[in-house]
Chains A and B, each alone.
Chain A
Amino acid sequence: MKRREFILLIGGGLAWPAIARAQGGAKLHRIFWVSTQSEPDPFLDGFREGMRALGYVEGKTVTFETHYAPGNPQALRKIVSELQRGDMDLVVSSGPATRVMTAVTDIPVLFALSGDPVALGVVKSLAHPGTNFTGSTFLSLELAGKRVELLKDIYPKLRKLAVFSNTDHPGEPLEWRATLESCRNLGIEAAYVPFCGAREIESGLMAAGKMDADALLVFPDVVTLVQREKIAEFAIAHRLPSMFGWSEYCDAGGLLSYGANQRTTYFRLATYADRILRGENPSDLPVMRPEKFELAVNLKTARLLGIDLDVSSILFRASKVIS
């Protein structure tokens, strides 16, 4: 019963029809998980957790076939051709893999995107995807400017901001542009520190360290999420107030984060997966957007940084405080 309540709480209204119906039959559903990132994959873990909460048992009623192709579009094409086997019930694509999945037209595809799926061309509109694609967007783009503002709120002396960005992430240029515009509005100099994939993260951080910035902004992305502790440590070591996209970064030592609850998003994605496996058409399932954003602040990090921060300006609106 607790699990049910949890789904209601986290999964929102999307789980409603699933609960209204009896729990599904014992058929084994095959889910194809595609990502251009590398393992370990926290998104897959979140999704798995959501499926478990909906009563699916891995190996019994659901199996995951995971395919990772870090930064290799050629490899992804091969994955798409593998899908022609036709024994897959659902494809779940995370991040830039979604773009390659447009070649798939006969299997439902669930996506989790930071950017705009309409701009990406995988759905016709948010309300009516009209294709075999549907899923969830994190609204990272919309929040990009807000993160700069919050960083300036807690650290009013902010003049130069290092923007640490994985160029291998879809919508990354748009996110950078939104950030740049926001910085301009707030009178901040933005220092773009791009890197490409997990391999370049070390060199990227070294480059960021040489920027002589006052603070660090890290775009939310699987690579940085996986490397969040390293990045947080780097920020503390360089006495940089840091801003991230998800609260998981703050747990790992980041100073601030602002964004949708990633766990909730994947839970919701699991409810859509459930509905599609039960026979609903993805073209009728509207793309989900988060309506609640978490502002997390790590006071321990704030103390460790040892610089003058206006914590009080953030504290009263924080939804999560780590001390």
Chain B
Amino acid sequence: MMDGPAQSSSCAMPPRRSLFCKYFATLFVAAVVPLILGAAVEASFGYRDQRRQISAVLQADARAASDRIEAFTDGIRDQLGWMVQLPWSAGDDAQHKIDALRLLQQVPAIVSVSLLDETGTERVFVSRLLLNRIGRGIDMSADAAVLGARANKVWYGPVQYQRDSEPYMRIAVAGSLPAAGVAIAEVNLKLIWDVIAAIRIGETGYAIVVDDSGHLIAHPDISLVLRGRASSGSFGRIKHLVGAVSGAAVITGDQGNPVVALSVQTADVGWTVVAMQPASEAFASIRAALWRSSILIALGVLIALALAYWRAHRMSGPIKQLEEGVDRIRTGQFEHRIKIFSGDELQHLALRFNEMASELAISQQKSARIERLKQFLPSQVAELVEHSHELLEGQRREVAVIFGDLRGFTAFSTRNEPDVIMAVMREYYEAVGAVTTRHEATLIGFDGDGVMLLVNAPVACEQPATQAVLLAIDLQMTVQSLAGKWCDAGHAIGFGVGVAMGPATVGTVGYNGRLDYTAMGAVVNLASRLCNLANDAQILADPTIAGRVRDSVPLASLGQRTIKGYDQALEVFAVAPADPTLKPQGSGQRRREKEPQDH
């Protein structure tokens, strides 16, 4: 049932298939193996019990048959015993004859009776078929019956088949007094049939009697007996096979079907009674039990299959969802969520997966932001800013603001081709970026030829004023070296810097992911005004900076100056150039040119 889909997507299915196999194996072992074991154990025990029970039944029936056959022969023996109680005397032959006739009347199986005197001579013979004889007759003293009876009191002759058909036997009894003579009866064994036919074992079981050499004496189907010695072969085989085992044996019966058989020996005559029952009937209950077990096993297999299929299906669905989820995450669809409500570990796994996806999304946004921050922050600062969130929060702190501005840029840009302007701008931005990075300052942004830098925000530093001044010096020097190059190329471009320090509100400002970090406050305006005031190659600082760096950097006060937007004049300081090569050349002209842009 899993083959179709398994072939269609070979990479997704094999795990599910093996899951199915595992489930099936587990359920099979859990459900079917105990069933099979149970059935096997039940069958083996049941078979043993049934066998024992059948043995007991057959034993009882065979014993009963044997007892009744003994009663049959014992009856004849006892009756004959009456015939030989008194010694023979002259003239009582007639009385003996009447006794013998009575015996025939009493025992239907006796066909004829011979009464012999002590010499072994026949004195009386009565028969159902032949004429009766009375008086001294033939001498039978050498007859096996007479010799046997004299030796053992009772003699049972071999079974003989009259005209090869009807079974007969002779029984002889000698009197306790030798003078009483011997009585010999000829018995038609067909009459044992009454004994055997009455025995029914189960529904179709029966008993048979065979003599020592395997000749059939009695069978419920008397026509088999009437076949004489001809049928002795198969019955001799049965007698031999059953006699070889102590209990019941399963053999092929006389009708060619398997039977359970058991034999018992009769005491005096030495015959064997074989009780048998068709195996199909004897083991019917076992067969029924086996059938029941087979049906249960089949049911178990079906249930195991169904459960395995269902379970595997319940597993494979969520697994497929998870697989899809992984694929979509891989393609960057972090908003993808997995919905599993199985209430088990799989649901838990799905929850964790969703958490992971959202974390991945956040982390992705984070790295995107870091990339953006790196545009205006040194990378380490950008990482720091990104990972300490509160730095970017809007807050009020003391910052140093540096403004730089090119002089003569407007005239340059109107006089030159855009690609020349772009080349100059690129050099300028690269230089400013390098300096900013070097001093771990924050590049707030470029505005045409102007640039705004921030120190002590968002990352705090120990001496922001000193660092700001040093940065300004470095910046001025770097841009001145560029400006020298540009002058050589015929472009008259200068650079002025303003530095101010004071409290400002810093934080991110922006819309829909386009966030900018910036600073707001009077100090920003002041720095911008100072920048505008500065001549080419000049760095102007406000009194706060001057106060902080007086000890480390030489400053020259330029006196009170009126700053636009400020009510009273402010003392402005110029950073004394450490490099004597920096000349305040043509600075006045460039400052004037700059002024109209300030409004």
Interface residues of A (CB under 8 A from B): 8, 12-14, 16-17, 20, 125-128, 139, 142-143, 145-146, 149, 182, 185-186, 284-289, 291-293, 316-317, 319
| B104 closest partner in A (C-beta) | A317
Q: List 20 A-B contacts (CB under 8 A).
A: A8-B197, A12-B193, A13-B221, A13-B225, A14-B222, A14-B223, A16-B220, A16-B221, A20-B204, A125-B165, A127-B164, A128-B227, A128-B230, A146-B130, A149-B131, A149-B132, A182-B131, A286-B165, A289-B165, A289-B166
Knowing A13-B220, A291-B166, A292-B108, say if A127 contacts B161 (CB, 8 Å). yes
Please determine whether A146 and B165 come into contact, CB atoms closer than 8 angstroms: no
Please determine whether A126 and B193 come into contact, CB atoms closer than 8 angstroms: no
Knowing A127-B228, A128-B227, A316-B102, say if A13 contacts B222 (CB, 8 Å). yes
Given contacts A145-B130, A317-B102, 6 further A-B pairs with CB under 8 A are: A14-B221, A17-B221, A127-B226, A145-B131, A146-B128, A149-B131
Please determine whether A13 and B131 come into contact, CB atoms closer than 8 angstroms: no
Residues of chain B lying within 8 A (CB to CB) of residue A319 = 105
Secondary structure dominating the interface of B: mixed
CA distance A17 to B224 in the complex (A): 11
Q: Mark B78-116, 1 if CB is under 8 A from A, else 0.
A: 000000000000000000001001101100100000000
Please determine whether A316 and B223 come into contact, CB atoms closer than 8 angstroms: no
Residues of chain B lying within 8 A (CB to CB) of residue A316 = 98, 101-102, 105
Which residues in chain B, 325-381, are within 8 Å of chain A measured between CB atoms? none
CA distance A284 to B228 in the complex (A): 12
Please determine whether A16 and B129 come into contact, CB atoms closer than 8 angstroms: no
CA distance A139 to B165 in the complex (A): 14
Knowing A316-B101, A317-B102, say if A291 contacts B191 (CB, 8 Å). yes
CA distance A142 to B188 in the complex (A): 16
Residues of chain A lying within 8 A (CB to CB) of residue B132 = 149
Residues of chain A lying within 8 A (CB to CB) of residue B51 = none
Which residues in chain B, 179-218, are within 8 Å of chain A measured between CB atoms? 188, 190-191, 193, 197, 204
What is the interface size of chain B, counting residues whose CB is below 8 A from a CB of the partner? 33
Residues of chain A lying within 8 A (CB to CB) of residue B77 = none
| A293 closest partner in B (C-beta) | B128
Interface residues of B (CB under 8 A from A): 98, 101-102, 104-105, 108, 127-132, 161, 163-166, 188, 190-191, 193, 197, 204, 219-223, 225-228, 230
Residues of chain A lying within 8 A (CB to CB) of residue B108 = 291-292
Which residue, of A12, A286, A292, has the highest number of chain B Cβ atoms within 10 A? A286
Please determine whether A146 and B101 come into contact, CB atoms closer than 8 angstroms: no
Residue of A125, A186, A317 near B164 (CB, 8 A) is A125
CA distance A128 to B229 in the complex (A): 11
**Distance in Å: Cβ of A137 to nearest Cβ of chain B:** 11
Residues of chain B lying within 8 A (CB to CB) of residue A12 = 193, 222
CA distance A292 to B101 in the complex (A): 15
Knowing A286-B165, A287-B165, say if A13 contacts B129 (CB, 8 Å). no
Which residue, of A8, A149, A186, A317, has the highest number of chain B Cβ atoms within 10 A? A317
| B227 closest partner in A (C-beta) | A127
Lowest 4 A-B CB distances belong to which pairs?
A: A13-B222, A286-B226, A126-B165, A127-B228
Please determine whether A142 and B129 come into contact, CB atoms closer than 8 angstroms: yes
CA distance A293 to B104 in the complex (A): 11
**Distance in Å: Cβ of B531 to nearest Cβ of chain A:** 126
CA distance A145 to B226 in the complex (A): 26
CA distance A5 to B463 in the complex (A): 133
Residues of chain A lying within 8 A (CB to CB) of residue B228 = 127, 286
Residue of B161, B165, B193, B204 near A13 (CB, 8 A) is B193
Residues of chain A lying within 8 A (CB to CB) of residue B197 = 8, 13, 16
CA distance A320 to B230 in the complex (A): 37
Residues of chain A lying within 8 A (CB to CB) of residue B220 = 13, 16, 20
Please determine whether B223 and A285 come into contact, CB atoms closer than 8 angstroms: yes
Residue of A146, A185, A288 near B129 (CB, 8 A) is A146
**Distance in Å: Cβ of A310 to nearest Cβ of chain B:** 12
Residue of A126, A143, A292 near B226 (CB, 8 A) is A126
Residues of chain A lying within 8 A (CB to CB) of residue B223 = 13-14, 284-286, 288
**Distance in Å: Cβ of B123 to nearest Cβ of chain A:** 18
Residues of chain B lying within 8 A (CB to CB) of residue A292 = 108
Residue of B104, B127, B222 near A16 (CB, 8 A) is B222
Please determine whether B131 and A186 come into contact, CB atoms closer than 8 angstroms: yes
**Distance in Å: Cβ of A294 to nearest Cβ of chain B:** 11
| B166 closest partner in A (C-beta) | A289
CA distance A20 to B223 in the complex (A): 14
CA distance A142 to B101 in the complex (A): 18
Please determine whether A146 and B230 come into contact, CB atoms closer than 8 angstroms: no
| A153 closest partner in B (C-beta) | B132
CA distance A125 to B228 in the complex (A): 11
Residues of chain A lying within 8 A (CB to CB) of residue B127 = 146
Residues of chain A lying within 8 A (CB to CB) of residue B190 = 291
Please determine whether B165 and A127 come into contact, CB atoms closer than 8 angstroms: yes
CA distance A127 to B221 in the complex (A): 14
Please determine whether B164 and A126 come into contact, CB atoms closer than 8 angstroms: yes
CA distance A16 to B221 in the complex (A): 5
**Distance in Å: Cβ of B198 to nearest Cβ of chain A:** 9
**Distance in Å: Cβ of A133 to nearest Cβ of chain B:** 15
Please determine whether A126 and B131 come into contact, CB atoms closer than 8 angstroms: no
Residues of chain A lying within 8 A (CB to CB) of residue B222 = 12-14, 16
Residues of chain A lying within 8 A (CB to CB) of residue B105 = 316-317, 319
